Structure 1
Amino acid sequence: MKNLFFILLVFLASQYTASQEKEDIMLQIEVNVTKYDKGKIYLALYDDEEHYMKKTYMSSSEEVEDHKVTIIFKGLKKGEYAFSLFHDVNSNGKLDNNFFGIPKEPYGFSNHQKGRFGPPKFDKVKFTVKENTHQKVTIK
């Protein structure tokens, strides 16, 4: 009987801890598009440096309307995040590159960073989410 009580107590404590770790934070990302008022914005959200530009934590795509897009992610935990995005102007579902692999369509990263010879480092694009957060970025 003592063992059953102990197991039940451990189970309840773990459920309480799990519910405390899960947050319901919302991240709203507003993308202003200056050049083209068509196509879609594809956005990838990363939740740590290890997965940055390798494995997306969450992603979304939205049609450009009136030169802007708003993307909302819900159910986030407190922590550091970063995002990358591109504007699929011709609506072919991919980022078009030239012969040298340089993007031909507009792209961007959190904190208005641009890469030089590749994407910017995680330290340059990361931002902290502690509560509902609103980020803005402009791409040309």
Structure 2
Amino acid sequence: MNRQPVLTGALILAAIGGLAYPAHGQLDQPTQLAVEISGLNQPQGQVCLNLFDSGAGFPSNRDQALQTQCLETTADVSLVATFEDLAPGSYAVSVFHDANSDSEFNRNFVGMPTEGFGFSRNPEALTGPPEFGEAVVLVAGAETRIEIELSYF
């Protein structure tokens, strides 16, 4: 009888179990979420991010966001924002390119965005912003890294 497949299967299950159920001490350690912003169409203004831990206020109500931050844009540096001291869990990020630095997400007279925008998990947003569940990412371990690509109309 060949025990190789049984042993391999047992090792795989043990590894998966270890990922699904981390050691108790790891569950309460703070983590960070690093967000790389790509697709910036012009190096002016700032890029503003909102971090949410629930659907309340997502994606644009900054008063209900868990954390917010804005980064000045530059021509030769990629933009990376970091949200620190997070409890492991589910989060969603919304981003907009505030090209004119007025701290507002500008729209034209029919409500179409005139500035770039994006969301964690990069869902399509053709007829409106995504729901929280479409943008949610699991944050765990020392650091979770995601990339958000900005969209422009």
Q: TM-score, normalised by structure 1?
A: 0.77
Alignment counterpart, residue 43 of structure 2, candidates 37, 42, 50: 37
Q: Give deviations 1:64-94, integer Å, cap 9, x for gaps.
A: 1226311111100011000111001111221
Task: Describe the SS at the equivalent of 1:123.
Answer: helix
Match of 1:52 in 2: 58
Return closer, same or farther for 1:43/1:58 CA change in 2, 3 Å cut-off.
Answer: same
Q: Does 1:84 find its partner at 2:94?
A: yes
Task: Describe the SS at the equivalent of 2:109.
Answer: coil
Task: Describe the SS at the equivalent of 2:121.
Answer: helix
| Displacement of 1:60 | 0.6
Match of 1:64 in 2: 73
Return closer, same or farther for 1:49/1:92 CA change in 2, 3 Å cut-off.
Answer: closer
Mapped contact 1:36–1:67 kept (Cα < 8 A)? no
Match of 1:135 in 2: 146
Range with greater deviation from structure 2 (83-92 or 62-71): 62-71
Task: Describe the SS at the equivalent of 2:69.
Answer: strand
Separation in 2, partners of 1:33, 1:96: 18
Separation in 2, partners of 1:67, 1:41: 13
Q: TM-score, normalised by structure 2?
A: 0.71
| Structure 1 letter corresponding to 2:72 | E
Runs (4 or more) in structure 1 with deviation over 6 Å come to none
Match of 1:121 in 2: 131
| Structure 2 letter corresponding to 1:134 | R
Task: Describe the SS at the equivalent of 1:124.
Answer: helix
Mapped contact 1:30–1:69 kept (Cα < 8 A)? yes
Task: Describe the SS at the equivalent of 1:111.
Answer: coil
Task: Describe the SS at the equivalent of 2:134.
Answer: helix
Structure 1 vs Structure 2 CA RMSD? 2.1
Structure (1/2) with the larger strand percentage: 1
Match of 1:28 in 2: 34
| Structure 1 letter corresponding to 2:135 | V
Aligned residues: 122
Structure 1: gaps (5+ residues): 1-19
Structure 2: gaps (5+ residues): 1-25
Mapped contact 1:34–1:67 kept (Cα < 8 A)? no
